Amino acid sequence: MINEPKIVEIKEIIDETPTIKTFKFDWDMETLGRPNPGEFVMVWNFKNEKPMSISQINDDEMAISVKNIGEFTSHLHDLAVGDKIGIRGSYGTGFNNSFEGKNIVAIGGGVGMAPINAIASDLIEKGNDVDVIAAAVTKDELLFADSLEKSGAKVHFCTDDGSFGFKGFATDCLSDLLEDTTYDYAFVCGPEIMMKGIFDILEEASIPAQYSLERYMKCALGVCGQCCVDGEGWRICVEGPVFENEKIYKIEEFAKYRRDASGVKY
Ligand SMILES: Cc1cc2nc3c(=O)[nH]c(=O)nc-3n(C[C@H](O)[C@H](O)[C@H](O)COP(=O)(O)OP(=O)(O)OC[C@H]3O[C@@H](n4cnc5c(N)ncnc54)[C@H](O)[C@@H]3O)c2cc1C
């Protein structure tokens, strides 16, 4: 059960935005398993290990997209092609592909676009009509919007400062779209405050959805209990990180608080 990290060589690094880089590496799907969109891996830099969503799943390679916000992620940003990292996993429930209809909206805020990119690409490949709301603080931080547009998604760009596309939050953009259209199903990942706003709008519109959550993680195996959420006590690493809308009601701390590395609420 406690699988060792697989040591992989970074084969490509893409500077996506001033703060986000994508790291591509080979992954033998046959022996190591093919991840589902929405699953995550534990990334080891030979000092520490942290969870990262899988942002791209190709035939024999996958990618993670990392926002530089602290010691670990800044170390990853300093790596070069040919450097090695450890990858453990993949873990988590991933997005569930059994839903009714084919008219989908996938909503990502900031680096939350990482798992949204994986699921949106998969849904397009499977013949669904996919609208993507790609939200960021400013134009330079929009992630994957161009590549998703090329792959066939209808992308609604959205920036807080109005530097590109719709001016406002992802919630405002969704409300705007829902004035003229509706969707059968939605997939959402981003800051929890954004997901709460989106959740309220989608629930009001009776659009079922799946939400990808983050909590501080250590083992990612469901053993340490670090990422348990109040309510049902679900472990984000095993029962999550993706939850359907009915389950979100039972996560009492959703958009209210979370716990730091020592378990203290903040
Ligand atoms: C399921 C899941 C998927 C994630 N996917 C991505 C992704 O695709 N791209 C991305 O850039 N980030 C992702 N993250 C967040 C990423 O793990 C943290 O941003 C990263 O660990 C920060 O480390 P740091 O040392 O650079 O920053 P620090 O300064 O140590 O931490 C900054 C913040 O990052 C969060 N964090 C730190 N350590 C952890 C940890 N062990 N587990 C969870 N959160 C932590 C905390 O909120 C903390 O306040 C994901 C987290 C989870 C739980």
**Per-domain residue ranges for the chain?**
6-91, 103-212
For residue 256, give the nearest of 199, 202, 188, 218 by alpha carbon. 199
> Is the distance from the beta carbon of residue 48 to the nearest atom of ligand 1 less than 6 Å?
no
CATH number of 103-212: 3.40.50.80
Measure 82 CA to ligand 1 centroid, in angstroms.
24
> For 6-91, which CATH class?
mainly beta
Which 3 state secondary structure label does DSSP give 133?
Answer: strand
Q: What are phi and psi of 241, to 5 degrees?
A: -80, -5
> Is the distance from the beta carbon of residue 53 to the nearest atom of ligand 1 less than 6 Å?
yes
Give me 22's structure tokens. Answer: 């994508």
Can 6-91 and 103-212 be said to share one CATH topology?
Answer: no
pLDDT < 70 positions in the chain: 1-2
- Antiparallel, parallel or unpaired: β 129-136 and 103-109: parallel
pLDDT for the residue numbered 1: 47
* Contact present, 231 and 250 (Cβ < 8 Å): yes
pLDDT for the residue numbered 2: 62
Specify the pTM: 0.96
pLDDT for the residue numbered 12: 98
pLDDT digits over 79-138, tens only?
999 999 999 999 999 999 889 999 999 999 999 999 999 999 999 999 999 999 999 999
Q: What are phi and psi of 20, to 5 degrees?
A: -125, 130
Measure 217 CA to ligand 1 centroid, in angstroms.
8
- Antiparallel, parallel or unpaired: β 154-159 and 166-167: parallel
pLDDT for the residue numbered 163: 97
* Contact present, 37 and 98 (Cβ < 8 Å): no
pLDDT for the residue numbered 151: 87
Residue whose CA is at the smallest distance from ligand 1 atom 25: 72
pLDDT for the residue numbered 73: 98
